[in-house]
């Protein structure tokens, strides 16, 4: 489970880490049964790599564990990011990331920040300290609801890989909101 940094953002919490095959069942029958998956999300900007069709930020939303998103290999650590347009106003309350089935010590962030647009730029609404990565696992986090049409997700504290490079990789991203008529 992840820890939440309360110093600069509203509380967010790690809900669980679920093995990929069980992920949909857990959402349908667990405490989050009243959630609805956001569809039609589009990445409008990213720090990602576009060399391969299967490593493309738009593939994050296709539901396939064989496609995903990665950043270029870097010699210096930096904050990586995705900017996502929801296609409408939504109040996301749960975010899930599917890690890649590779070395668990590489390719996954130690810190995830959620930002929403304001007139003066981006405002941080959550900072999530992630749990140590395990391969082929859904990492699920509850985040404060902030009705908006867009998010910027920043990924920080990416581990140095054995070959001496930094890069981020994960396979799927899912964003959920409360189903109509459900409040919390």
Question: Residue 183 falls within a domain, yes or no?
Answer: no
Residues 167 and 106: their CA atoms lie apart, in Å, by: 8
Range(s) of the domain holding residue 9: 3-178
What is the structure's pLDDT at 148?
A: 97
Question: Residue 184 falls within a domain, yes or no?
Answer: no
Question: Residue 34 falls within a domain, yes or no?
Answer: yes
What is the structure's pLDDT at 2?
A: 43
Question: Residue 167 falls within a domain, yes or no?
Answer: yes
Question: Residue 69 falls within a domain, yes or no?
Answer: yes
Q: What is the CATH number of the domain that holds 128?
A: 2.60.120.260
Of the candidates 91, 67, 92, 54, which has an alpha carbon nearest to the alpha carbon of residue 174?
Answer: 92
What is the structure's pLDDT at 137?
A: 83
What is the structure's pLDDT at 13?
A: 45
Number of independent structural domains in the chain = 1
pTM reported for the whole predicted model: 0.80
What is the structure's pLDDT at 51?
A: 67
Question: Residue 51 falls within a domain, yes or no?
Answer: yes
Question: Residue 19 falls within a domain, yes or no?
Answer: yes
What is the structure's pLDDT at 67?
A: 83
Mean pLDDT, consecutive 10-residue stretches, the chain (184 aa), reads: 40 42 43 79 88 77 84 90 96 92 74 96 95 79 95 92 84 88 48
Question: Residue 27 falls within a domain, yes or no?
Answer: yes
């Amino acid at each position: 489970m992840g820890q939440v940094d309360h110093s600069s953002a509203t509380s967010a919490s790690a809900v669980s880490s679920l093995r990929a095959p069980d992920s949909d069942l857990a959402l349908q029958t667990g405490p989050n049964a009243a959630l609805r998956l956001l569809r039609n999300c589009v990445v409008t900007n990213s720090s990602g790599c576009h060399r391969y069709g299967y490593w493309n930020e738009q593939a994050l939303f296709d539901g396939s564990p064989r496609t995903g998103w990665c950043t270029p290999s870097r010699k210096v650590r930096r904050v990586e990011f995705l900017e996502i347009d929801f296609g409408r106003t939504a109040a996301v309350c749960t975010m899930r990331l599917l890690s890649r089935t590779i070395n668990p010590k590489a390719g996954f962030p130690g810190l995830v920040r959620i930002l929403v647009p304001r007139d003066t730029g981006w405002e941080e609404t959550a900072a999530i300290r992630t749990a140590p990565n395990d391969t082929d696992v859904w990492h699920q986090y509850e985040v404060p609801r902030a009705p908006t049409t867009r998010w910027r997700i920043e990924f920080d504290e990416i581990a140095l890989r054995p070959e001496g490079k930094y890069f981020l990789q994960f396979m799927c991203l899912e964003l959920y909101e409360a189903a109509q008529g459900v409040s919390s």
